[in-house]
Amino acid sequence: MRILFVCHGNICRSPMAEFVLKALVKAKGIEDQYYIESAAVTTDELGNPIYPPAKRCLSQHGVSFDPAKRARQITRADYDLFDRIICMDASNMRLIRRIIPSDPDGKIHLLMSYAGSGRDVADPWYTGDFETAFQDILTGCEAMLNSF
């Protein structure tokens, strides 16, 4: 299963989701069955590392991450490369249509939809509340993993 997480800039929520899901599949011993990445729907943060408070939050929860991770933008080619493209919020779902105009294979989903909610993953960029974002991401990733 090839999964791509997407958020606005690829420095907070989507890389957190990338490394949370990598930790979950590793803990289950099924990491060889998954390829997991993250990307942005905008060019705002291209080339930038994971935002320091997001790194701190991952570390506080014992989730390892690649310090070399840099923000990249999703491309049309990613649609063919990934089985699932998981957005953090409704804005990401709207903006992704500029890059991937249609979803004939039903690959694009909101993360929290796997947890039975249509709501957005809390955005810590504006609130500074990385813990709430982490808990949303963990809940969504666990539910998504259980749905496969």
Residue among 7, 57, 87, 141 flagged as catalytic: 7
State the Cα–Cα distance between residues 40 and 73, nearest whole angstrom: 5
Residue among 12, 13, 89, 136 flagged as catalytic: 13
- Is residue 87 among the annotated active site residues? no
- Is residue 7 among the annotated active site residues? yes
- Is residue 123 among the annotated active site residues? yes
State the Cα–Cα distance between residues 1 and 32, nearest whole angstrom: 9
Residue among 120, 123, 136, 141 flagged as catalytic: 123
- What is the Cβ-side half-sphere exposure of residue 128, based on CA atoms within 13 angstroms? 0
Q: Which residues of 63-84 are buried (b: 16+ CB within 10 A; e: fewer)?
A: bebeeebebbbbeeebbeebeb
Cβ(92)–Cβ(116) below 8 Å? no
Residues known to be catalytic = 7, 13, 123
